[in-house]
Structure 1
Amino acid sequence: MQNETRDIIGIDFGTTNSSVAFAAPQSQGGQVQMVSFPLAAGGDTFSSRSLLYLERQMHAARKPVSAWTGPQGIEKYLAHDSFSDETQGRLIQSLKSYLSARTLTGTEIFGKQYRFEDLVARILTNLRLRASEALGFEVKRAIAGRPVMFVGADNDDDNAFAENRLRAAFEQAGFTDVTFAMEPVAAAYAYESTVQRDELVLIGDFGGGTTDFSLLRVGPSARNWNTNRGELQVLGNSGVGIAGDAFDARIVRRLISPALGSESVAISAGKKLPVLPAWVYANLERWHTLSFLRTHTTMDMLRMAEKRAAAKKAPEREQIASLITIVEHDLGYRLHQAVQRVKVELSHHDQAEFVLNADMLHLRAAVTRAQFEEWISPELERMSESLDGLLRDTGIAANQVDRVFLTGGTSLVPAVRRIFTSRFGGNRVQSGEAFTSVAYGLALMAAGK
């Protein structure tokens, strides 16, 4: 009979990326195995994009809808021919950001209504099935990560609502037993596996949609042995609903949207009015909402604006045409990838160039690190306030913290790292695996359960 604790996995369902890990029980060494996700081009990855791509066959009798997630979803989306009349495609991303949104109960796709939990469950189902295949047993039980504060949550009730929705999606995906753990606490377990002495550690976990901090005592004698599992001593948590996606949005707003007509104005009754409403460009800023612009009403509005600009020989005509191309051909993922490349390049260099090359569109724009840091200054300030609030609430001075452990892609942004090096010194700040540390720690927690 299989040890009942053996089949519990750790699963980090993230805003942008998800990962899964499994650890043998501590009595058997507790070795952690990361679940890999195969790539069509060969090789594999330990992080799977948290996205859902739906495609409908237009000429089949019942117009069947197929669904893919993760690397396969990306490959199917990129291979889809937007000009073809044979299929329709819809890419859905960053669903985790909407867990606390009570007004978002579902959406219509290809004329069919889908509950919000249905869409999340599709992604979780594929993660569960891939984990079962890779690990050699049917995955039914998990310790899942959750942020300290979900995106959009203002209070404990909002957090509870978001967690309950996520639990319902897990259950719909075939999980029979799900326990939630704070993501920065899970990252602390990953960090503790590397230390040989007791430490007071600050964990910074930077996801696509949330930034979370935790203060914990870790190490051989730092566990709370008054519990059955010897849990880590958590001194305090704090979090804020901003992270990598917010940085991307700033790049789109300040660098890309102006090249697509966001600053264009027209004279009407002696007043300057924007050529297109601001909400159009707001949907561009969140790459998971760009596809929402692909409605008949919105496309008609954009084409009418292009015609008016062409009739007046206005300079914004080409800008609006480029915007129409991005929306019509659902170039949100390509746009986002280009933004990501700029962000990464600015982490290593003082300047970078945004480049979007598609068959039907080519955009280029230069940006400096100084500009980028100015654009994200409001987000940096909120992160700093959350961190300082945690230190203040726990009564811990910065010089008492032995180590700062940062995880998540946004932690590599120089301006973000300065938040920590300015308070704790560079010698105490280190980074973990950007996309897998939380899943790794969740697996260790499951092994000790």
Structure 2
Amino acid sequence: MTSFCAIDFGTSNSAVALPAAADGAMRLAPVEGAHTTLPTAVFFNADEHTREFGRAALASYIDGFDGRLMRSMKSILGSPLAESTTDLGDGSAIPYTEIITIFLEHLKRSAERCSGAPITRAVLGRPVFFVDEDPRADQLAQDQLEAAARRVGFREIEFQFEPIAAAFDYESRLAQEGLVLVADIGGGTSDFSLVRVGPDRMTRLERKDDVLAHHGVHVAGTDFDRRVELATILRELGYQSLDPEGREVPNRIYFDLATWHLINTIYTPKRATELKLMRHLYPETRHHDRLMRVVDERLGHALTARAEEAKIGVSAGGETMIDLEAVETDLRLAFGDAQLVEAGREETRRIVQAARETVQAAGVAPGQVSALYFTGGSTGLLFLTQALAEAFPQSQAVFGDRLASVATGLGIHAQRLFG
């Protein structure tokens, strides 16, 4: 007997939906212990020669095991980097696309343990755009994800846009028809779909005519993390310092340090040597000392994690402290709401503009949108959801499950296709 599933392979978090044994309705499967979502992370533990996933991967990395932690793998799809290889920390290398395959295999095995049957059919979620303004690269990204899914044993694969899936989840609780603008703001992309929804439409398998427009930008949670890190942590390492001639010190090192999948590129002997020779450019040599300590001790990913923690801490309310003891004793930075809003101002503007353009593309007036449905991890940023709500003041703001709405909606779509 074969079964089917729906997979939300997210930039930051992933989940799988399965038909329940009792009634056939779709349920989220436990994918890490009792958890029905897991961080999209793989740790290649060089000390113990193991692979760990999700929370376990992050814990091993934080505990200081040698190896390579991979996150945000989805963001490399469609880019030249996807077909290149990366060092695993033990002298071996592996293609980035193979890491995606390994992670999908873990999700599939978790689902099969839960279902008790092999799974060969799947609906996979995808962003509106894997790659902005490049249709060929965008199609390549989907092809790479499909190839990885086929390598792990899926034979029948369908794709659905993630914000449309979220609309299906929202629709299942509606009593009347309306126009919903789904805002799916995750770790890597902000996607919007304007969808006609209602209880009488739920039974239709073909919903193409109900999707009035969709649009998205490759701007989301990790971009806010990057801005936070540049605005706070990396200034303490010399970012935007002026050299003796009044020019900014070279900034590429800082942009790479703030971009998860580029961090390992700064640890090569060549780049480390180049950085050492730049000491004379820094008016405050302590900044250069801190930068070299980060490079020599490979602290880049830890700093990125600190920036993400600061963003989450402030978005939950109040001020937080960024602990940089690993870089220098007693080095701590205060970080508050006003700084977070300012750091992410440009990203917020671009996301709100993408929402407006989605509605304009449908030929619909903003006042005709009955609801804004928020899903995705980054909708926990209050200032961001407020900015979107202000752009559509006549629409009801509705918050779905930030980490599970897309997976649930993909499951609904999978049930219609395969069930």
Offset, 1:155: 3.0
Offset, 1:294: 1.7
In the TM superposition, what are the counterparts of 1:332-343 in structure 2 within 5 Å?
Answer: 332-343=300-311
Matched, 1:106 2:96: no
Q: CA RMSD in A?
A: 2.7
**Residue 279 of structure 1, aligned match among 252, 263, 269:** 252
| 1:51 alignment partner in structure 2 | 41
| 1:292 alignment partner in structure 2 | 265
**Residue 155 of structure 2, aligned match among 165, 176, 185:** 176
Q: Is the 8 A contact 1:97 1:209 kept in 2?
A: yes
Q: Is the 8 A contact 1:23 1:446 kept in 2?
A: no
**Residue 51 of structure 2, aligned match among 67, 70, 88:** 67
CA distance in 2, matches of 1:362, 1:234: 54
| 2:178 alignment partner in structure 1 | 199
Offset, 1:233: 1.8
CA distance in 2, matches of 1:359, 1:157: 42
Which runs of no fewer than 5 residues in structure 2 stay unpaired? none
| 2:29 alignment partner in structure 1 | 34
Q: Tell me the amino acid that sits aligned with residue 175 of structure 2.
A: Q
Which runs of no fewer than 5 residues in structure 1 stay unpaired? 39-43, 58-63, 82-87
Q: Is the 8 A contact 1:145 1:183 kept in 2?
A: yes
Deviates more, 1:174-183 or 1:341-350: 341-350
| 1:447 alignment partner in structure 2 | 415
**Residue 236 of structure 1, aligned match among 203, 206, 213:** 213
In the TM superposition, what are the counterparts of 1:120-269 in structure 2 within 5 Å?
Answer: 120-150=100-130, 152-223=131-202, 225=204, 228=205, 233-267=210-244
**Residue 391 of structure 1, aligned match among 342, 355, 359:** 359
In the TM superposition, what are the counterparts of 1:350-369 in structure 2 within 5 Å?
Answer: 351-358=319-326, 363-369=331-337
Q: Tell me the amino acid that sits aligned with residue 96 of structure 2.
A: F
Q: Tell me the amino acid that sits aligned with residue 133 of structure 1.
A: R
Q: Is the 8 A contact 2:28 2:36 kept in 1?
A: no
Matched, 1:89 2:85: no
Runs in 1 of length 4+ with deviation above 6 angstroms? none
| 2:11 alignment partner in structure 1 | 15
What do the CA deviations read for 1:273-318 (whole angstroms, capped 9, x no partner)?
A: 555x311101121133223222122233344545x68xxxx76333
Offset, 1:127: 1.3
State the aligned residue count: 415
> Structure 1's 153 and 131: CA in aligned 2 closer, same or farther, altered over 3 A?
same
**Residue 416 of structure 1, aligned match among 371, 384, 387:** 384
CA distance in 1, matches of 2:177, 2:319: 41
Q: Is the 8 A contact 1:188 1:216 kept in 2?
A: yes
Q: Tell me the amino acid that sits aligned with residue 121 of structure 1.
A: T
| 1:41 alignment partner in structure 2 | none
Q: Is the 8 A contact 2:172 2:199 kept in 1?
A: no
Deviates more, 1:371-380 or 1:236-245: 371-380
Q: Is the 8 A contact 1:350 1:370 kept in 2?
A: no
